[in-house]
Amino acid sequence: METKPLKISLFFAHDYIESELILKDKNVVVIDVLRTSATMLTGLNNGAKEIIPTESIAAAGMIGRNSEGHALLCGEKNAKLIEGFNLGNSVKEYSEENVKGRILVFHSTNGTPSLMKSKFASNCILASFLNMERVVNYLHELNEDFIVLCAGKNGEFSLEDTVCAGMLVSRLRKHDSKNKYILTDSSLGAAMLYSAYKNDLLKMMNDSEHGQYLVSLGFGDDLFACAEVDKYNLLPVLKNGVIKSIEAFASDPKLKMKKVSQKSVS
């Protein structure tokens, strides 16, 4: 039986997606390396109950006020803590002590807009260097076309998100003994850019515009934390406006994701 070719598409920034309907019923991988992907992964790993991404600071505040003290307001605006929020977007803030058992209501400059544009996706997963192997294994098992949505920086290309996407494409191609993946020019370009930096991801972070900006604000440690590879065997997914691990969705019959085999969540 002939294998159907699978297409890997890539957008360099969320502004390339004019409407969330473009991603409706698609498989989407959202990447925001510095720093939303890493902080959300760390929060879930350290026991956060769930994460609610929001379209605006005002929306986050409204959800927080209605949570009767169960939620923490989290995120940033231009990398800085938002006035009235409990946590910013630094990885070190998302310790078990701070987040275990809590709902995290999240807004960030580029990460949450990317997630909101993916809210009608058939499957939407959150990727970073920290959980790369888990993401690769999931997509290999899913065996369908998918789109990588890089958060970017203020609507423009970002080096770190594209290199991370390139690692994803490169690792998947290693699984690809039958040449089943078709790459768009953008996904091929991301893989080629990753090959230039694959031996020193921390240097890439420091070379990047946003990385340099974070260092100037005193967040240099976050670059190191966000450059760790395969630290977590965790797959965050967005479903019905909420982000949880794929296991959490699989254990709740009301929230199960579509097209996820038992093998892929084991």
Round to whole Å and give the CA distance between 204 and 166.
13
- CB burial readout 194-231, b (16+ within 10 A) else e: beebeeebeebbbebebbeebeeeebeebbebbbeeeb
Record the tokens describing residue 182, joined without a space. 């078709």
| Per-residue pLDDT tens digits for 257-266 | 444 443 333 3
Q: What is the mean pLDDT of the chain?
A: 93
Residues in the chain: 266
The answer, yes or no, to whether residue 91 has pLDDT greater than 50, is yes
pTM, two decimal places: 0.93
- The CA-atom distances, in angstroms, between 83 and each of 86, 87, 88, 218 are 9, 10, 10, 18
Predicted local distance difference test score (pLDDT) of residue 262: 35
Predicted local distance difference test score (pLDDT) of residue 2: 59
Q: What are phi and psi of 161, to 5 degrees?
A: -65, -40
Q: Are 79 and 89 in contact (CB under 8 A)?
A: yes
- What number is the average pLDDT over the span 146-169? 97
Predicted local distance difference test score (pLDDT) of residue 263: 39
Predicted local distance difference test score (pLDDT) of residue 175: 81
Angle, CA of 117, 120 and 125, to the nearest 5°: 75
Bridge partners for 126 per DSSP: 30
| Per-residue pLDDT tens digits for 197-243 | 999 999 999 999 999 999 999 999 999 999 999 999 999 999 999 99
CATH number of this structure's domain 7-255: 3.90.1560.10
Tell me, what amino acid is at 131?
N
